[in-house]
Amino acid sequence: MNVTNNHTAGGRNAEDTLIDPLNKGLGAFQQALTAADAKALNWNLLREDLSLPTAVLYEERMNHNLQWMQQFVSEYGVKLAPHGKTTMAPKLFARQLAGGAWGITLATAHQTRVAYQHGVRRVIMANQLVGKQNMAIIADLLNDPSFEFSCLVDSADGVDQLGAFFQARQQKLHVLLELGPDGGRTGIRNPQQQEAVLAALARWPDNLVLAGVEVYEGVLKEEADIRAFLQHAVACAKQLAAAGRFTARTTGEAARPVILTGAGSAWYDVVAEEFAKTEIGLPLDVVLRPGCYLTHDVGIYRAAQAQIQTRNPIARKMRSKLQPALQLWAYVQSIPEAGKAIIALGKRDAAFDAGLPLPALQYRPGGAAPTATPAHWQLTGMMDQHAYLQISAGDDIKVGDMLGFDISHPCLTFDKWRHIAVLDPQHQVVDVIQTFF
Amino acid sequence: MNVTNNHTAGGRNAEDTLIDPLNKGLGAFQQALTAADAKALNWNLLREDLSLPTAVLYEERMNHNLQWMQQFVSEYGVKLAPHGKTTMAPKLFARQLAGGAWGITLATAHQTRVAYQHGVRRVIMANQLVGKQNMAIIADLLNDPSFEFSCLVDSADGVDQLGAFFQARQQKLHVLLELGPDGGRTGIRNPQQQEAVLAALARWPDNLVLAGVEVYEGVLKEEADIRAFLQHAVACAKQLAAAGRFTARTTGEAARPVILTGAGSAWYDVVAEEFAKTEIGLPLDVVLRPGCYLTHDVGIYRAAQAQIQTRNPIARKMRSKLQPALQLWAYVQSIPEAGKAIIALGKRDAAFDAGLPLPALQYRPGGAAPTATPAHWQLTGMMDQHAYLQISAGDDIKVGDMLGFDISHPCLTFDKWRHIAVLDPQHQVVDVIQTFF
């Protein structure tokens, strides 16, 4: 159990977090309130109780996706540490952990602190830990012996900076050797770099613990390249184990299994296949780290998931698919030309780097239920606070209509919103989650 | 005086806003504190007291820019309502108003509420006001008779929706007729649309007050087109005045002058030239609305400002220029290949839609002062939490180095940060400003 629902020293309970009435996208209230209070206010999206534009999460779809992924990793006997950078919503971290996740993956010291303060006690920081203040944040959290943390190393300089810092603090930091493909992002490229990092680690035997191997395969685009890279990671883990390099085991300092981890949201099935049966002669946790599955999308991750559904036998045999659980709602504010409507939705409200939001639903206030938008309605551009919607002369669209948009790239949509309403199928607000970006 | 520094009913004092220790980019503290408390903590960027990545504002440069723009508008005898959507930082709104701004421009009901709650009492919402909850937000603020507000109309449907809402509330709303060029964004395109809007306004004589004319010229790209469009707006204002359409004046309901307003951050000089001497036979406030001048940038707005410095006689005779006042600082986290460094700075931290951040300064912790980065160091891509920096083999760059980046597009940089440290020239934190996105 990695979540506490009680207040700890300096900790927070996601349920108790107060919602600032000056946040955008919510209903009317005068004083800061809790999510439970907000639910009692009985807001309904279709009754125009929310100030649009707003982002909403669909409760049932999120729960479906959560169970889908947990079942998927269970079939492979591997562990799940969903990437928390996607949502940065501690309440969703808690659901993921309660649903069976092994831990939470994060990208920065700041994100790790947010998760810890909300009760998360097992974190892979899938990134280098650099800089005095960032190291201090992690060092403070490591004063709690129940906090299991590891971060990445890929350079001797980085290792020596960590070693000096944690030696001065007389603390022990677990690190994972990051491997990276040529032309990729971070990560060790060749044996010379690897030896330099291992030699640096050997300079700080009391403070740095080599605890596993990490990759991010998502910088590669071809399955064959990805499989070869993953096999290289498996071979590296075996070699390090055989050489007695996993010091956490050999020195007996920690009973934690060695970690072998990879997987973004597009190739987690291939990582599962390549990593699942790995034997290194030591206790080993294989950990997958997809983040976008929880809300999914209808853009880049729908496309990636369609590939997974095609190529992966376990995904194929599962009855259902991931469902898009995050939408944006906004008003038609102007129809100045016959073929163009202007929507009160902008780059401040939605990701736009991997395709623009896609019109899905139309609702005229006072009407029955939302209806699907015509296929020819498409956004053609966005500005800070506006979007251009291509329509045709004679379409049934009016200023004041509400449009629901599906999205592409959940990460860069979540970070536009400080609180997000969670809806039931009747568009009733049943919860409000807070984000920390 | 449009700012109050005292608490009003339901209002906030920007100085008293508490900073959440879970915000990114700040120094170490355990409990929420005020900006004054933060200043007392004596953080210094170069001493690595802040958790990077971080965004910082340079106090002297901001003040310089603030004075520059105020002098510019004063030379033309026009008024300044800086677009607040850029920063959404009430503390900066207060500085702009204290520096002589006539009011603040905003884009949404939510933004207007944030400004009002922090003491702003004159707002142009340079956008259509659409939707029940958004109208309710504005209606609530209008219960304060000291609050001067106007928003845009460009359709009969929009007017009728506003009319019905404010009639039910027995309130009066001031609206500006928005004109838009063909192919542009919002705004009336032709006389037929204009007549339809005016006819709709006539249906709500007790609740909607036609208070002026508004344009946003920034959707056009050529100076000649912009001048023609602005001249059309002037002619429209004269025609409406002559026809007795500015009901605020003719009914004596409000003593407020008619408003003629335009100008984003790229063409405000041309708007000043075209609008400054307008006479419509009624008291008239010509209001310019640039927003990005306060922090400026080294990207799209530096380019736009260079044009202004070239074509505008007043800008030419002013001794100084706008200065970039917003920077991002981040660590080098990995140098995995001879020509590539990975920077711990991502799309979560910086605008990337109008050019990537530009390396400006390098600082090695413990060293003397930051130095200019070589010209060949350029970002070639960004991911959510990482940036790719092109370097050359043999360059003096190390994991753990701090890099300062100038930016392009302040608006989409501000909205990544909930609190931003303000630095003096010694990189000491002298203030912390809060944003509301």
**pLDDT above 90 (res A397):** yes
B204 HSE (CA, 13 A, CB side): 28
Q: Which residues of B touch A50 (CB under 8 A)?
A: 133
ipTM value: 0.95
Taking an 8 Å cut-off on Cβ atoms, the answer to whether A52 and B133 are in contact is yes
Average pLDDT taken over every residue of chain B: 94
Interval A185-207: pLDDT, tens: 999 999 999 999 999 999 999 99
| Cβ atoms of B139 and B165 closer than 8 Å | yes
> Tell me, what's the pLDDT at B13?
72
> Tell me, what's the pLDDT at B381?
98
Q: Which of B399, B402, B409, B435 to mutate to test the interface with A (most CBs of A within 10 A)?
A: B399
**pLDDT above 50 (res B372):** yes
A191–chain B nearest CA distance, Å: 12
Mean pLDDT of A120-147: 98
Mean pLDDT of B376-404: 98
> Tell me, what's the pLDDT at B249?
56
- The answer to whether A60 contacts chain B (CB < 8 Å) is no
Residue A366 burial (C-beta neighbours within 10 Å; 0-12, 13-18, 19+):
exposed
- Return the beta strands (E) in B180-310 as ranges: 208-215, 258-262, 284-288
Q: Quickly state the pLDDT bin for B17 (edges 50, 70, 90).
A: confident
Taking an 8 Å cut-off on Cβ atoms, the answer to whether A130 and B384 are in contact is no
Amino acid found at B400 = G
**pLDDT above 50 (res A2):** no
Return the percentage of chain A with pLDDT > 70, whole number.
95
H helices of A218-333, in order, are: 223-242, 247-250, 268-275, 300-311, 313-317
Which range (A6-10, A158-162, A184-188, A399-403) has the least confidence?
A6-10
> Tell me, what's the pLDDT at A249?
57
Mean pLDDT of B129-138: 98
> Tell me, what's the pLDDT at B254?
53
Q: Which of B128, B151, B190, B413 to mutate to test the interface with A (most CBs of A within 10 A)?
A: B128
> Tell me, what's the pLDDT at B242?
97
Interval A261-314: pLDDT, tens: 999 999 999 999 999 999 999 999 999 999 999 999 999 999 999 999 999 999
Q: Quickly state the pLDDT bin for B118 (edges 50, 70, 90).
A: very high
Q: Which of the two residues, A5 and A393, has the higher pLDDT score?
A: A393
Distance from the Cα of residue B61 to its chain's centroid:
16
Interval B328-370: pLDDT, tens: 999 999 999 999 999 999 999 999 999 999 999 999 999 999 9
Cα–Cα distance between B366 and B368 in angstroms, integer? 7
Average pLDDT taken over every residue of chain A: 94
**pLDDT above 60 (res B16):** yes
**pLDDT above 50 (res B214):** yes
> Tell me, what's the pLDDT at A40?
93
> Tell me, what's the pLDDT at B4?
37
pTM here?
0.95
> Tell me, what's the pLDDT at A17?
75
Interval A152-180: pLDDT, tens: 999 999 999 999 999 999 999 999 999 99
> Tell me, what's the pLDDT at A186?
98
Closest CA to B427 of B172, B52, B4: B52
> Tell me, what's the pLDDT at A354?
93
Residue A245 burial (C-beta neighbours within 10 Å; 0-12, 13-18, 19+):
middle
> Tell me, what's the pLDDT at B319?
82
Interval A48-87: pLDDT, tens: 999 999 999 999 999 999 999 999 999 999 999 999 999 9
- The answer to whether B131 contacts chain A (CB < 8 Å) is yes
Mean pLDDT of B64-89: 97
Q: Which of residues 284-313 of B touch A (CB under 8 A)?
A: none
Cα–Cα distance between B99 and B101 in angstroms, integer? 6
Taking an 8 Å cut-off on Cβ atoms, the answer to whether B437 and A24 are in contact is yes
Q: Quickly state the pLDDT bin for A182 (edges 50, 70, 90).
A: very high
Mean pLDDT of B55-65: 98
Closest CA to A268 of A320, A218, A326: A218
> Tell me, what's the pLDDT at B248?
61
> Tell me, what's the pLDDT at B8?
41
- Which residues, including other chains, have CB under 8 Å from residue B97's CB and lie 6 or more apart? B1, B2, B3, B103, B104, B120
- The answer to whether B169 contacts chain A (CB < 8 Å) is no
**pLDDT above 80 (res B196):** yes
Distance between first and last Cα of chain A:
25
B417–chain A nearest CA distance, Å: 7
Nearest to B336 among A22, A130, A187 (CB): A187
B117–chain A nearest CA distance, Å: 9
**pLDDT above 50 (res A424):** yes
> Tell me, what's the pLDDT at A319?
83
> Tell me, what's the pLDDT at B210?
97
> Tell me, what's the pLDDT at B2?
37
